[in-house]
Structure formats: structure tokens, C-alpha cells
Structure 1
Amino acid sequence: MSVRDYPLSVSAERAKALSCFSLSRVWRALGLVAAAALCSPLWAQVIPKVTLSVADTREPSDVAVALQILFLVTILAIAPSILVMLTSFVRIIIAFSFLRRALGTQTMPPDQVMVGMALFLTLFIMMPVFTEINDTAIQPYLAEEIGFRDGLDKAVRPVRNFMLRQVDEKDVALFVRVSRMAPPRNADDLPLEVIVPAFITSELKTAFIIGFVLYVPFLVIDMVIASVLLSMGMMMLPPIMISLPFKIVLFVLIDGWHIVVRELVTSFR
């Protein structure tokens, strides 16, 4: 290294040392701030601890409240299954699935779109039921006008009536016979363990009927396109590739989504 380059090297080393010293001062300042924050009164406050334990008690009301909380937590855990099985969701999502397969669009619309649309249609169809539950069960219970047991009975009644309006009598008779219970005098004598499976069976049957009706027009288009291709000697060309644009155009021209949604909504009694 020449004498001319010596001052430059010294100044570079001095700048590096100053930068390291500045960084160390910054880190020390940050450490002091963190220590002050940890020692503040906010961190010294007692944080409540949530535990789940079994303890002795002499008050039956304490046990009842704990069981009610456990029941509500269980209901929240199985809420998705309740939404699927006790509402109009099953019929709607199966009909949409059949429609997508009939169109031959594979993953269009995506599953998220179909499930979201089915959920919002379910909320729209079930809104009178939810409103009745809120007016007759939830609000009186929150106002302490009725007890928990009465509120539960009043909340179940609108859902029960909705399922009874959709269920087929043959399905109800099937589960009454299988359960070997005494023949009920009227619908009010039917227990939920009979109504729920009968309702699900009826919904599956109705959804498959709707799916068949949706499939037929598009199946006719596929058959016509396949016959035309066969007559032209184009046997190696997949008919679905040619029929897909025609099916989409037909579905759009007849305003297919409007018709499907309208018929699905009005199919519920």
C-alpha cells in the first residue's frame, strides 16, 4: 500500500468503527425501552386464567349452569352439520353440483362460489324460521322471561315445522316403523330422531329429481352433437368439446341461473 492510500484506509476504518458504535448505542436504547415496558404497571396486572376442572359444590344451580355452557359449546361445535342437515342447504348444493356436471364445465363455477351461493340462498329461505326463533326463543331468554329449557323447546319448534313441511310421508312412515315406536296420532307426536333422518332422505330424493330435470336438456345437446360428428366421420373428436359452447350459449340465452334459483327457492313449502 502506498503512502498516498494510507489516509483513505484510516478514514474507512474510523467510519466503520463509528457505525458499529452507533449501532451498539441503538441496540442499548431499544433494550432499555423494552425493559421499561416490561416493568410497567400494565404488565404487572393479573391475567385471568381459564381452566376446565371438576370441583365439589353444594349448589345444584352451579352444576346446571356448567351443563348449559357445555351444551352450548357442543352446539357451536356441530353448528356446520346442523346447518347442512336441518336446512335447505342439501337440496341447493346437490342441484348446483348436478347443474355443473350437466354443463360439463368441470370446476366452473368453483366450489367456493357454489357453496357460498348455496349458503346465502339457505339463509334467504330459512330467514322466516330464524326470525321466528329469535322472536320466540332467543330474545325472551335473553330478557329472562323464559328458562333455558323453554327457550330450547321454542327454538326447535320452527325448525321442526319447516322439516315437516318438506318431508315425505313415506319416509316418515319408514323411520317410524324401523324405530318400532307406537304409531303417532299426529305430527306433534313425532320425535326429532324420526323427523331429521326422514327430512334428509326426502331432501336427497328431491335434489336428485331436480338434478335429473337439469341434466336432460344438456344430454340432448350432447347426443345431437355426437350424432352430427359421427355422420361427418369425425369420430376422434370428443363431442363434449364441441357441445360445451352450445350448452353455455343456451344456458345464457334462456337466463338459466334465474330459472334455476327461482325454481329452487319456490320448491320449498
Structure 2
Amino acid sequence: MRFSLFLLTLLVLAFPASAQSVALDLGGDGSVSMRTVQLFLMVTVLSLAPGLAVMLTCFPFIVTVLSILRQAIGVQQAPPNMLIVSLALFLTWFVMEPTLQAAWQSGISPMIEGTLSVQDAIPNTIEPFRGFMQSRVNHDTLVTLADARGIVVEQQQPPLNMLVPAFMLTEVQRGFEVGFLIFLPFLVIDLVIAAILMSMGMMMVPPAVVALPFKLAFFVLADGWALLAGALIRSYEL
């Protein structure tokens, strides 16, 4: 819901005031103003915004990594889910800004100005997202989905109904791969603390409780949040 409101604000601010007086001829005696079309598009995008954020962007990868990081540290509710999702959302915005700008300039802006029809604007808007997804998708995953349908997929132009799930599966897989690497140093700390407690005969003391402050100190001293955010962003440099 917060993402939808934020996206709606951006769309309202982005629409030029000069487009209010433009009218579209529907043929016959009817016409509809460009403002009506804009409102219809805003409502449509508003309803689809959460799904689009998950399907067409790097949000699945980033939120998966951040969630695994929280599990690795051993704190279940810190940071809370809302903060994890908000951080992933704004990192997604940061990464996807060139793609969003390209989609706006090639499709949405010409449509609002009346220089491009809706039928031509939709493919132009989708094309930057297609390029972004194709640069990240695992071809083996794409082939697996194509085999499940019994078709031969072209690597250069796979259909969207196949490219989108393949991209999402690839992002989740890479999120788990990065999460595994993040988990290792915290697992080492847990093992060291458990071995020390066993050697001291403190078998009744939960190792996770004792290891938690050491893991937090390790993560803070290493400037973990900044390092992780920088690594996630650099992984999308094409």
C-alpha cells in the first residue's frame, strides 16, 4: 500500500500540466480528454504496482538477501518486516532508475504528449524492462520452462509469459546463493561460541543467546549494511 501511494505521487508529479487540454478522438461523436486517460492509467498502475515491483524489478533478489541476513544474525524482528521491505524497495528504486527513465522517455512521455499511440507506447515501455530481465535471467531456467511447455524458446526474444517467471526464479536463486555466503561467517561464530561453552561445561547455556552480541558487534564493526547494500547495487551494473 505504501509503495502504491508513493508510485501514485510520482505519477501525479510527473504528468505535465499541458496534457490536460489534449483530447483523443474516439471516432463518431465521442472523444475523451487525455486527463481521463491519465487517470485511468494511474488507477491501473496503482492496482498493479505491487505485482510489477515483484515481477519486473530486482526487488525479489534484494528482499531475499535482506531476509536471510536477518535470519543469519539471529534477530527475528530486528529490523522489522516493514523496514526490510522499505529498504529493499528503495534499493530497488535506486537500481531500476535507469530502466524506469528509459521506459518513461520511450513510451509513457510520448504517449502523454500525443506523439505516440497507446498501442505503440506499451511495447516501447515494456522493452527496457525486457532488456533488464534478459540481462539477468538464467538461460537454463528459461529452457526448463520452455521444455515444460514443449516449445523451443529463442534466447534473443523469449515471450514475456516465459521471461518473467524465469527472471523471478533466477533472482530468487541468486538471492539464496548470496544468502548462503552471508550465512557462513555468522555460522562460524555460532560454532566457535558453542565449542567454547562446551569446553567450559556450560551445556545448559543456549549458544545462540551468547553468540548474538558477538554477531551484532561483528556486523556493525564491519559496516555490514553499507557493504551489503553496495554489493547488491554493484551486482546490477550491466
Asked if TM exceeds 0.5, the reply is yes
Match of 1:163 in 2: 133
- TM-score (structure 2 length as normaliser): 0.81
1:83 to 38, 53, 71: 53
Offset, 1:267? 1.3
CA–CA distance in 2 between the matches of 1:167 and 1:106? 31
- The structure with more radius of gyration: 1
Pair 77,105 (structure 1): closer, same or farther in 2 beyond 3 Å: same
Q: 1:243-263 deviations in whole A, cap 9, x for unaligned?
A: 111111111111111111111
2:156 is the counterpart of 1:187:
yes
2:194 is the counterpart of 1:226:
yes
CA–CA distance in 2 between the matches of 1:143 and 1:71? 14
For the residue of structure 2 that corresponds to 1:154, the secondary structure is: helix
Tell me the percent identity. Answer: 37
Match of 2:7 in 1: none
CA–CA distance in 1 between the matches of 2:215 and 2:91? 25
Kindly tell me the number of residue pairs found equivalent between the two proteins: 210
1:103 to 52, 65, 73: 73
Name the Cα RMSD after superposition. 2.4
Pair 67,133 (structure 1): closer, same or farther in 2 beyond 3 Å: closer
Offset, 1:179? 2.0
CA–CA distance in 2 between the matches of 1:116 and 1:183? 36
Q: 1:66-106 deviations in whole A, cap 9, x for unaligned?
A: 99987764443122011112101111111011111111122
CA–CA distance in 1 between the matches of 2:181 and 2:83? 22
Match of 1:126 in 2: 96
Match of 2:212 in 1: 244
Match of 2:178 in 1: 210
Q: 1:104-128 deviations in whole A, cap 9, x for unaligned?
A: 1221111121111111100000000
For the residue of structure 1 that corresponds to 2:203, the secondary structure is: coil
Unaligned runs of 5+ in 1: 1-56
Q: Which amino acid aligns with 2:80?
A: P
CA–CA distance in 1 between the matches of 2:145 and 2:69? 31
CA–CA distance in 1 between the matches of 2:74 and 2:67? 11
2:146 to 151, 164, 176: 176
CA–CA distance in 1 between the matches of 2:169 and 2:90? 23
Pair 170,133 (structure 1): closer, same or farther in 2 beyond 3 Å: same
Match of 1:51 in 2: none
CA–CA distance in 2 between the matches of 1:139 and 1:70? 16
- TM-score (structure 1 length as normaliser): 0.72
2:102 is the counterpart of 1:141:
no
170-179 vs 68-77, which moves further: 68-77
CA–CA distance in 2 between the matches of 1:60 and 1:122? 45
CA–CA distance in 1 between the matches of 2:45 and 2:234? 30
Pair 142,160 (structure 1): closer, same or farther in 2 beyond 3 Å: same
